[in-house]
Amino acid sequence: MELMNKMKIVLGDILKGKRRAALGGHIRPDGDCIGSCLGLYMYLKEQYPEIETDVYLENVPEAFRMISCTDEVKTQADEDDVYDLFICLDCGDQKRLGFAEKLFENAKETLCIDHHVSNGAFADQNYIVPDASSTSELVYTLLDSQKISKRTAEALYMGIAHDTGVFQYSCTSPETMEIAAELMRKGIDGSEIIDKTYYEKTYIQNQILGRALLESMLILDKRCIVSVVRQKEMEFFQAVPADLEGIVSQLRLTKGVEVAMFLHETAPQQFKVSLRSKGSVDVSRIARYFGGGGHVRAAGVTMKGSSHDVINNITGQILLQLDRAEKESGDGAEETAGAQVDE
């Protein structure tokens, strides 16, 4: 396995001699996953028409269907199919490719493009930059900017906007903003993309968000906020998993809170846990501890047990980090105070 940096990877070299290529992203695809997959898919279709290219994803949520070529996404795979190249995007773990994992295993060559700090470089070639805002930003750096079409720009812009919380999160760098500006110069309507795919919610989404906020609770001396949505509530509101997008981010905005934890029951005694941090807690470490992954301020994991057990296990790890941060802060204050006395 080879880990590449920005200076070494050349997309044209990797594509040389390839007749068939497949793209895939993680299960329950979000804005960055869909944006990076479709952005690269459209670019390859336009600039490398001689390569037969397919893209595999789970069902694309309705909010993202304003992006071109969503109707060309394949939601099923022939497990015996063999591609010359499989490119996985925004996927920190091979297992998270879901139904497309078999295609990855069968492919003659594999490439992973990702920004998850928990990515173990599982492909033949790996372009992993944890400091990048999004996989969509990384895809942009691999393309000839002069050849990026308007529809490709729309997909990549959406991906960047989603994984930066509309350019609010700390992962938003000057380079991120410069890339977003270049994409806007392609003639896209950035405001419409953000409104339609990020802010706009259906009535059902607002109902389930309201329920999650109403039933939330503050723990760990009000430094952590937790909410749980169970299967029976999903059925009552006739909601689907995509309707839960953004709930944990809204919880994180609570004043005084350091960590937000959102549990979604996916099966009896099984929960998908989403974690968000304001910075003092590295939630990717906690997620990895329980078999998940993600970023320092945004991570996730699937855990089994009662909601009480899951919350207790995770809060134990959160508390360890909060206590360590307080101790280090206290030690630093004592050293500073001592230095002032000596003076």
pLDDT of residue 71: 97
Q: What pLDDT is recorded for position 338? A: 42
Please write the tens of the pLDDT for every residue from 260-306: 999 999 999 999 999 999 989 999 999 999 999 888 899 999 999 99
d(CA 331, CA 99): 50
Sheet holding 125-128, edge to edge: 2-4, 125-128, 110-114, 85-89, 20-25, 52-56
Give the chain's end-to-end CA distance (angstroms, integer): 55
pTM: 0.86
Task: Give me the pLDDT at residue 5, please.
Answer: 46
How much is the pLDDT for 8? Answer: 57
- Going along the chain from its start, the domains and CATH numbers come out as 2-198 (3.90.1640.10), 203-329 (3.10.310.30)
pLDDT of 284 reads 92
pLDDT, averaged per 10 consecutive residues of the chain (343 residues), comes to 55 96 96 98 98 97 95 96 98 94 98 92 95 96 97 98 92 96 98 96 96 98 97 96 93 97 97 95 95 90 97 97 82 46 34
Backbone phi, then psi, for 228, in 5-degree steps? -130, 130
* Cα 146 to Cα 143, 155, 174, distances in angstroms: 9, 16, 20
Q: So what's the pLDDT on residue 169?
A: 86
Distance from C-alpha of 246 to C-alpha of 236, rounded to nearest angstrom: 20
